[in-house]
Amino acid sequence: MKIVIGADSYAPDINGAARFAGRLARGLAARGHEVHVVSASTEGPEQLEHDGAVTIHRMRSIRYRWHATMRVCLPWLAGPDARDLLEQLQPDVVHVQSHMVVGRAVANAADRLGIPLVATNHFVPENVFGYVPFLPRRFHGPAGRMAWRDLARVFGQADVITAPTPLAVSLLTEATGLSGEAVSNGIDVQRYQEAARQAELNADPQAGPVILFVGRLDQEKRVDELIAAFARIPAETGARLEIVGGGDQFDALVGFAAELGVDDRVSFLGQVSDEELLAAYGRASIFCMPGVAELQSLVTLEAMSAGKPVVAANAMALPHLVQSGHNGWLYTPGDIGELALRLSTLVADPRLRERMGQHSRTMVSHHDFEATLDTFTEIYASAGAAVRGQLRSVA
């Protein structure tokens, strides 16, 4: 098939939706499909890039004033550009990853041209409010409801809608009235297991345990809570905290670590390559996800694949991944003392880390990415069949 993936966020962005879109594109291309990705330019002008067999069409963009690393497309340019591109490519199916500017433009163009459309939702309003700091908190509720209604207008054009977990589907249905199918974002389990094995071979026996966070450094991720909890772990344990990712909170979090006197034990690695990210998962002893707006948390799945125990906020989809006392612990969001206690317990007990890490590896096996690719290939075929049937009935 010829497949177009519309993604407002794509590599080099580090977030769940961007990483999923990249993995999906490369996985489909590896199966022999012709894959095109439409996303925002990383520099401004229109660009054409190639990631192996994947062709990436970068649409004209501008820097977003309220976020240091974000670029956005202008709707009045993205709409015509997307329509021209789809007319040129004539894909068998379009798969959008959002209802924002790029996703909206590609979805609208697919609908007008009669191209089968699949939409995957990674959105919850809480993930957006950090990008609109000028919006007073008292307006978050009404703004969130407006955003859901807007999503319903865009995704309502789709032949099939998916979301990464049953919880995400339920949230979508409750907020919009749209029905959907749960399809895991999936994970290449073997890749992360190999990274862990390589790290064990090269490990320094004198090094202390490493706590790892991976994700956007934005408000809803609550990385400040993790740093505050880490500051309560005595330096004598040798524990270190590694933070991977960039975002608006980067400088503030660096300053916060210095204010708490732990800047010599906290490493801010910023945005890293895939190889560096794999190495970070490999050398980690514990993974922590304090975010409260995770529809699946791909990075948590990645850490579990690498055999790591997880300490995560008891919020959104994270309880589906973490069973307290089994492969890690859930804690009450905002409870710094509870988070510090859970991390400290794992820091002090390597046998417990090993046992919980093994449980993580076992639990993640049913999220194998090959199964995700199988499912989406079937969805694309059924969406195409449905559209062809509609065209025949009209004729």
pLDDT digits (tens, 9 = 90+) for 348-379: 999 999 999 999 999 988 788 999 999 999 99
pLDDT tens figures, 250-282: 999 999 999 999 999 999 999 898 899 999 999
Q: Kindly state whether residues 306 and 278 are assigned to the same domain.
A: yes
Q: Kindly state whether residues 334 and 383 are assigned to the same domain.
A: no
Percent with pLDDT over 90 in the chain: 72
Q: Kindly state whether residues 299 and 166 are assigned to the same domain.
A: no
Considering its fold, how many domains does the chain have in total?
A: 2
Expressed as residue numbers, the domain containing 206 is 189-366
**pLDDT score recorded for residue 220:** 84
User: Rounded to whole angstroms, how far apart are CA atoms 217 and 212?
Assistant: 13
Q: Kindly state whether residues 68 and 172 are assigned to the same domain.
A: yes
**pLDDT score recorded for residue 318:** 92
Q: Domain holding 375: CATH number?
A: 3.40.50.2000
**pLDDT score recorded for residue 261:** 97
pLDDT tens figures, 99-113: 999 999 999 999 999
**pLDDT higher than 60, residue 175:** yes
Instruction: Report CA dihedral (357, 362, 366, 370) to the nearest 10 degrees.
Output: 80
- DSSP E strands in 293-362: the ranges are 310-313, 328-331
**pLDDT score recorded for residue 216:** 87
Global pTM reads: 0.79
Q: Kindly state whether residues 273 and 343 are assigned to the same domain.
A: yes
**pLDDT higher than 80, residue 202:** yes
DSSP at 208:
P
Averaged pLDDT of the chain: 92
**pLDDT higher than 80, residue 44:** yes
**pLDDT score recorded for residue 131:** 73
Q: Kindly state whether residues 113 and 212 are assigned to the same domain.
A: no
User: Rounded to whole angstroms, how far apart are CA atoms 148 and 104?
Assistant: 14
Q: Kindly state whether residues 104 and 203 are assigned to the same domain.
A: no
Q: Kindly state whether residues 42 and 178 are assigned to the same domain.
A: yes
**pLDDT higher than 70, residue 389:** no
**pLDDT score recorded for residue 247:** 84
**pLDDT higher than 70, residue 133:** yes
Q: Kindly state whether residues 208 and 310 are assigned to the same domain.
A: yes
**pLDDT higher than 70, residue 393:** no
- Kindly indicate the confidence band of residue 395, based on its pLDDT and cuts at 50, 70 and 90: very low
Would you call 143 exposed, middle or buried from its count of C-beta atoms within 10 A (0-12, 13-18, 19+)? middle
- Kindly indicate the confidence band of residue 94, based on its pLDDT and cuts at 50, 70 and 90: very high
Q: Kindly state whether residues 330 and 314 are assigned to the same domain.
A: yes
Q: Kindly state whether residues 320 and 383 are assigned to the same domain.
A: no
Q: Kindly state whether residues 275 and 377 are assigned to the same domain.
A: no
Question: Residues 24-28: what's their mean pLDDT?
Answer: 97
**pLDDT score recorded for residue 388:** 56
Asked if residue 372 lies in contact with residue 185, where contact means CB atoms within 8 angstroms, the answer is yes
